[in-house]
Structure 1
C-alpha cells in the first residue's frame, strides 16, 4: 500500500502541480473548442469544431472535456486535470503490469519511477489532448490481457472471463479515444514480444477470449456506425482524409525515429545502453524478462518506422517498454554484488553525466530564471539550493554504485522542478508584443456580432478560435452578395482591410478598426514566430 501512496503522490506532482503554466497548443485548442460547442449547441454525438463537423477523432476525450466545460466553463486547469487523472491510471496499470509479468515488486516500483520521470509522460499528463487517454486505457487492457492469456487455467483463482472482459472494455475505450493508434503502437508490439517470451495458456479460455473481441468491437464501432448511418458523406470524406494523411502528411524517412531514446529525457543514455544486447543477456539474471522488454521496444520502433507519417510525439507509447528495459539495468546494478567492468563503466558514464547536469542546473536557474525575471529571487535560491543538495546525493550514489539511491535522487529532482520551476518554463515562451485576440471578449461593439475570416486565404488557426471563445466562420471576401448578407459583422484578417476586400465592396461598407492582436508566444525573429498569429479585427457595417 505504501508504494501505491508514493506513486499517487508523485503523479500529483508530475501532472497537477502548476498544470496551467504551459501555454495551450493546437491539439488542446481543437479538443476544447469542440467541447465548448458540444455544450453550447448540444451536439454530443455529432461533434463540430468551429461550426464544421469534427469526426476525425473519436469523441470520448471530448465528451470528458465537454462535461468539464459544463461544470467549470473556460477552466484550462480543470481540463488538464482530466489528463492528469488519465496519467495516474496509466502509471498505476504500468506498475501492476510490471508486477504481474516480472513478479518482482522492487523491479516494478523502480520501472514506475523511471516511467514517471520521462518528460514525454509528464508533458502529456499536463495536456488536454487525446493521446494520454488511448494509451492509458490500452495499458489497462494489456494488464488484463496478460492475466487472461497466462493465468494457469487450473488455478482456483484463475478468472479468464473477468480478465478478458475487462481487457475488451479497455481496448474499446482506447479505440473510442483515438481510434487504432494505441492498438498499433502499444498493443501489437506487446503481443509480438509476449508470444516470443512465453506461450499463452489458452486451454478452456477460448470462449472468454472471443467474448473479449466482441466487447472490444462493440465499444469501438458503435459511434462510427452511428456516424456512417446518419452522416455517410461526411464519414466517407473523413475516412479518405485520414487515410490520405497517414500516407501523405508529415512523411518522413524510415530512419526518422533513430533518436527515439532521447524521448526518455534523463534516461536517454541508459535507454540506448539497453541495446547492448550481447552483453546484458550474459550478465542480467532474468535474461528472458530483459529480452522481453527489448523485443517490445524494438517491435514498437519498427512498426512506427513503417508508417509514412511520423512525429516525435508518436513515440509516446514507446516510453512503456523503454522504461521497463532501463529498469532491468538499474535493477541489475542494484542486485548484483560484484558488477562486471562493462556494467560499471556504463553506470558511471550515464549517472556521471546526469549528475554533472544537475550540478550546473542552479546556475542555469539563476541566469535564465531570476535574471530574466521569470522567477523571484527567493524561488531561485530555494530551488537552486535543493537541486545542489540533490546533485551531491547523485554524485555520492554514482561513486558508490547505488543505483536505487540514484533513481530516488532523479525523482526528487523532478519533484523540485515540478513544484518550483514549471512557471519559469512557461514564462520562457514570452513575446513582448503579445496581445491575444482573447481581448475581443470584452469589446462591447462585438457582442452578438458574427466573426469571419477570409476563406480564400485558408483555414483559421484553431488557437485563435479557442482564445476568442467564439466561432470564426469562413466568408468569401470577394463575393459581394455574401459579404453584404453577413453585415453587420467583424472580420479577422492578416493584412489590412484594403488588401483583403475588393474596392467595390469597400465603397459600400463602413469599417472600424477594433485592434491588432498578436497571439505569438515567441518574439519576432525566432523560428517559432508565425505571421498567421498576427491579426487585425475590424467591424464592418453597411453605409
Structure 2
C-alpha cells in the first residue's frame, strides 16, 4: 500500500499538487478575517474605501488628503473586492492578497513543469513557496500588496525566459514591459529596477546588449511609458502636484537604502542578510544540503533555465542585500528562484548523496514528531473560551498530523511531500488555535471597537482629526483608527488644525482649545470631543 502510494506520487505529482492545494484552502482561509487590520493593511484599506466614498478612483487619499506613497492599482483591486463582496470586512481586505498566493503557487508549478519538464520538481518548488516559514506564519495572514506584486513580477521573469529561449525578442520586451507598467502602478519604482536589472543581466550574459537599441526594445519601452504617463496625466486633472507625487514615490524607494541607515548598521545587516533569509525559507533552505557539491553547482548552472534563475536572482538581490531597511516580503518574487534551484538539486542528487539524504529524512521526521506531540498541549493552554469545539479541533489536528508523520516514516521517495502536507495541517492548527487566542488579548480589538463606536456616534455630523501629526512608526495605528471610523460612518473624516467648526473632534495626545468643546469619551488616552 505504502509502496504504491510512493510510486503514485512519483509517477503523478500533479494529483499530489492538487491535493495539497485543496488542503491549503482551509489552512489559509480559516479565521482569515478574525484579527483587526494591522501593519500596512489599514493604509491600503483606507485608500480603497475613500475611493468608493468619493467615487474618484484616480486620486488616492487618506482622510481626504492626497496619498502619494503608492500608485493606486492595488487599491482598485481592493475597492472592487469591497464592492463585489458588499462589505468592508477584514476578510475582504485580505482576499486580494491570499488569492494571488494560490495563483503564485500554480504559476510556479506551470513554469517549472514547462521549463524543467519534471513535475516532481514543479510540485516541490511550488508547495515549498506556500509552506515556507515566512509565508506560513506571517505574510499569508495580511492584506499586503506584496504577494500580488511579487506574483506579477515572477510572471514577468518567466515570460522573459520563455520568449528568450525562442529568440522572440519583441515578445520578450513587450510582455515584460506590459507587466512592468502594471506593477509600477502598484508599487512604483521597484518595478523599473526589477525589469531593468533582469534584462540588462540577461542581455549582458548572452552578449545581446545591442538589443537595448533595437526597435523591438524601444517600442515596448515607449508603450510602458505611455501607460504610466496616461495614469499620471489623468491624475493631474484632479491634482496638479505631480512633483510632490514623484518625490514621494522616489523617497519610498530610497528610504531603506544604506545612505539612510548609516555605515555600521549596513555592515551588520550585510553580514546577517543571507542567514536571515535562509531562516525565512525553512524548511526549503534545508535542501541546500543537496546543492553544495562542486559538481552539482556546475550542473545546476549548466542548465539554461536554472542559469537564468540564478542570473535573475543575482541581478536583483544585491539591491536588497545593501538596503538595511528591507523587509522580507519585498523579496517574495525572488524566493521561488532559489526554491526551484533547491528542489532541482534535491531530486537530482539525493540518490547520489545517501548519507545527506538519510540525515535530511531524519530531520523531517524529528520535526514532524515534535509538531505532532505538541498538538495536545492546546488542551492545557487556556483556550477553552477562545476556541469553540477545542477538543474536536485538537483531535482533528492531532490525527491528521500523526497520519502525515506516519507517512514521512513509511514513505521512501515522497517523504518531503508528506512533510509539506504536515505543515499545511500545522497551519490549519495555527488558524484554529493561535489566531483566536491573539484576538482575545490584542489591544487592536479594543481600538477597533473604540473607533467603530466613535464612527457610530458621529454618523450624521462632520468628524475631524484634530492636529493630526503621527510619527512614521505610529502611522499604521492611526490609519487603522481612520479606517474603522470611516467604515462605520461611510463618510470621510477630515484633518484639521482648528477647532471652531461644529462637529466631532478626535485627538490623540491633547485637548481642544475651544472652551465650548465637550469631552464625550476617553479611550485609553484617545479623546472624542463634540462642538455644537
**TM-score (norm. length: structure 2):** 0.79
**Which fold has the larger relative contact order, with Cα–Cα distance below 8 Å and residues 6 or more apart in sequence?**
2
Does residue 540 (structure 1) correspond to residue 526 (structure 2)? The answer is no
Say which SS state the counterpart of residue 61 (structure 1) adopts. helix
Alpha-carbon shift at residue 388 of structure 1 (Å): 2.0
Q: Secondary structure of the equivalent of 1:222?
A: helix
Residue of structure 1 equivalent to 2:481? 464
Alignment partner of 1:107 is 2:121: yes
Structure 2's unaligned 5+ residue stretches are: 1-13
**Residues 246/196 of structure 1: CA separation in 2 closer, same or farther (3 Å cut):** same
CA spacing shift, 1:340–1:297, aligned 2, 3 Å: farther
- Provide closer, same or farther for how the CA distance between residues 391 and 448 of structure 1 changes in structure 2, counting only shifts above 3 A: same
Contact persistence 1:96–1:143 (CA under 8 A):
no
Q: Is the contact between residue 32 and residue 94 of structure 2 (CA under 8 Å) also seen in structure 1?
A: yes
Aligned to 1:512: 519
Q: Is the 8 Å Cα contact of residues 33 and 465 (structure 1) preserved in structure 2?
A: yes
Contact 1:270 1:350 in 2 (8 A): no
SS in 1 for 2:526: strand
Q: Does 2:187 match 1:170? A: no
Match in the other structure for 2:441: 431
On the 8 A contact 1:358/1:391 being kept in 2, the answer is no
Aligned residue in 2 for 1:133:
148
1:475 pairs with 493, 496, 503, which one? 496
**Structure 2: distance between partners of 1:396 and 1:540:** 69
Partners of 2:124 and 2:62 in 1: how far apart?
42
- CA offset at residue 29 of structure 1? 0.4
Residue 92 of structure 1 aligns with which residue?
106
CA RMSD of aligned residues (A): 3.7
Alignment match, 2:326: 310
How far the C-alpha of 1:49 sits from its partner, in A, is 1.2
- Structure 1: 5+ residue stretches without partners: 154-158, 477-481, 517-533
19-28 or 451-460: which moved more? 451-460
CA contact 2:454–2:528 (8 Å) conserved in 1: no
8 Å CA contact 1:61, 1:129 repeated in 2: no
- Contact in 1 for aligned 2:291/2:342 (Cα 8 Å): no
* Aligned-residue offset at 1:172: 1.8
- Which deviates the most, 1-10 or 458-467? 1-10
Residues 3 and 373 from structure 1, CA distance in 2 versus in 1: closer, same or farther, beyond 3 angstroms?
closer
Q: Secondary structure at the match of 1:451?
A: strand
Helix, strand or coil at the partner of 1:310: coil
1:270 aligned onto 2:281: no
The answer to whether the aligner puts 1:360 opposite 2:373 as a matched pair is: yes
Corresponding position of 1:24: 37
SS class of match (2:528): strand
Alpha carbons 1:489, 1:539 under 8 Å: kept: yes
Query: CA contact under 8 A between 1:250 and 1:310: conserved in structure 2?
Result: no
2:448 is aligned with 1:440: no
1:410 to 410, 419, 424: 419
Name which of 306, 314, 331 aligns with 2:347: 331
Looking at structure 2, the residues matched to 309 and 93 of structure 1 have their Cα atoms a distance apart, in angstroms, of: 29
Aligned with residue 388 of structure 1, among 384, 393, 402:
402
Q: How many residues end up aligned between the 2 structures?
A: 494
- Output the CA distance in 2 between the equivalents of 1:170 and 1:160: 16
Q: Is the contact made by 1:33 and 1:49 (CA closer than 8 Å) also made in structure 2? A: yes
Q: Secondary structure at the match of 1:438?
A: helix
Counterpart residue number, 1:257: 273
1:99–1:105 contact (8 Å) kept in structure 2: yes
Tell me how far apart the structure 2 counterparts of residues 194 and 339 of structure 1 sit (CA, whole Å).
Answer: 33
Q: Is the 8 A contact 1:358 1:388 kept in 2?
A: no
Q: Deviations over 1:195-243 (max 9, x none)?
A: 688677999x954444433333333443235446732343254246435
Alignment map for 1:82-231 (pairs within 5 Å): 82-121=96-135, 123-151=138-166, 161=170, 164-184=173-193, 191=199, 207-227=215-235, 230-231=240-241
Q: Would you say 1:39 and 2:48 are equivalent positions?
A: no
